[in-house]
Amino acid sequence: MSSVSLAPDKRPLLLLSANSAWNVANFRMGLLRALVGEGYAVVVAAPADVHESGLADEHVRFVPLAIDRSGMNPVTDLQLLGRYRQLMRSFRPAAFLSFTIKPNIYGSLAARVAGVPAINNISGLGTMFLGKGWQAHLAHGLYRAAMRRSPTVFFQNPDDRQLFVEAGTVRSEQAKLLPGSGIDLTRFTPAPLPAERPPTFLFIGRLLADKGVREFVEAARLVMQEFPEARFEMLGGMDPGNRTAINPDEILRWRQEANVQMLGEAADVRPHIARATAVVLPSYREGLPRVLLEAAAMARPLIATDVPGCRSIVDHERNGFLCAVRDARALADAMIRLIRLPGEKREAMGRAARARVEAEFSEQTVIQAYLGALRDIGANSRVGQA
């Protein structure tokens, strides 16, 4: 274990890293506040964007870190590893907390060399794991090397945990389950289903093929053949750096179609969820999708594909419907089933969704898991340089 230096205020220092400041600000802010409240000095290393100022407001130091999120250039990735090693030398943190693929791999490799305990969070497996070829084998090998000495590796659904344990990528005693990033139940509160709007189905997410956006658009066409008054909305932005990003020309065609309304991006999704009849996520695979947690917390019925992550939240025919993946017809049939339900049945589904989130997916559960993991490695007695 490497030696550590005293910070001026003698607080133990934690280094966190994700592939964007947006990721941290949107999914980890409750955790950051809790860590600061527990007496830790917190440093976040991520690519800079407009959300870094919000981190400063929470007494969190931000360090810009260039990460090519989707690229597979080994030279670029080795440079990233070098930047993480420099961060470890500069801050000598008590622990390294990583989120998203490249921080989990290259940040943890650097932490391992520096003798810094790492706590990893596998929030989703990404495109590389959707196939069985050399990319998946490479990814497992990189994860195995990076997390060999990580005391705790958090997974957000049991399918991903089982996959990693059975492949020998992590040991069973390392692998712990978390309820996603958790949901703030005081911020996302139940909203009554809109009584006067036509049935409205809302997709929230990046415009990626792996999110099932093409199936959503095709399903909208199919549903409108039977229910022409139905509305379909897509809330989210393009992600040109992602290998499965939708071509801008295709998005332009969708904007010109009357059956799907493209809403762009929004800083606050709650007003859009409140206007929806149901929230739809036809993704090919998820960790534990935050959008479904948010929708469930606002008492909305859920429609999602029967894949890892989604089925951890959607209880088929109780709080929503599961359907076959990559199947626009099956998705359309699920939407039609919801349209045909009496209003009181939809409301009951929404109440069941809220109840499940309250019982299983509170943000406080996530926070306590992290504080427990930090106590287990004695991070409160190891201090770095703030």
144-193 confidence digits (pLDDT tens): 999 999 999 999 999 999 999 999 999 999 999 999 888 999 999 999 99
Does the pLDDT at position 86 exceed 60? Answer: yes
- Count of C-beta atoms within a 10 Å radius of residue 98: 28
- H-helix segments, 92-180: 101-102, 108-114, 134-146, 158-166
- Tell me the three state secondary structure of residue 334: helix
Does the pLDDT at position 70 exceed 80? Answer: no
Q: Which carries the bigger pLDDT value, residue 121 or residue 27?
A: 121
> Which pLDDT score is estimated for 267?
87
Q: Which residues, including other chains, have CB under 8 Å from residue 236's CB and lie 6 or more apart?
A: 203, 204, 205, 206, 207, 263, 265
Alpha-carbon gap, residue 35 to 59, rounded angstroms: 11
Does the pLDDT at position 128 exceed 80? Answer: no
Does the pLDDT at position 227 exceed 50? Answer: yes
Q: What is the mean pLDDT of residues 63-90?
A: 92
> Which pLDDT score is estimated for 6?
38
- Count of C-beta atoms within a 10 Å radius of residue 215: 26
> Which pLDDT score is estimated for 129?
60
Q: Record the pTM.
A: 0.86
Alpha-carbon gap, residue 223 to 199, rounded angstroms: 11
Alpha-carbon gap, residue 239 to 206, rounded angstroms: 7
- Kindly state the tokens that stand for 201: 């189905």
pLDDT digits (tens, 9 = 90+) for 58-68: 999 999 999 98
Distance of CA 48 to the CA centre of its chain: 18
> Which pLDDT score is estimated for 386?
53
Q: List, in sequence order, every residue forming a beta bridge with 208; answer none if it has no partner.
A: 245
pLDDT digits (tens, 9 = 90+) for 244-296: 899 999 988 888 877 899 999 998 999 999 999 999 999 999 989 999 999 99
List % helix, strand, coil for the chain (3-state, nearest 5). Answer: 45, 15, 40
Does the pLDDT at position 8 exceed 60? Answer: no
CA dihedral 243, 249, 250, 255 (to 10 degrees): 130
Does the pLDDT at position 382 exceed 80? Answer: no
Q: Which domains does the chain have, with CATH numbers?
A: 13-182+363-381 (3.40.50.2000), 200-360 (3.40.50.2000)
Strongest mean pLDDT among 128-142, 189-203, 322-336: 322-336
Burial class (CB within 10 angstroms; exposed 0-12, middle 13-18, buried 19+) of 40: buried
pLDDT digits (tens, 9 = 90+) for 360-371: 999 999 999 999
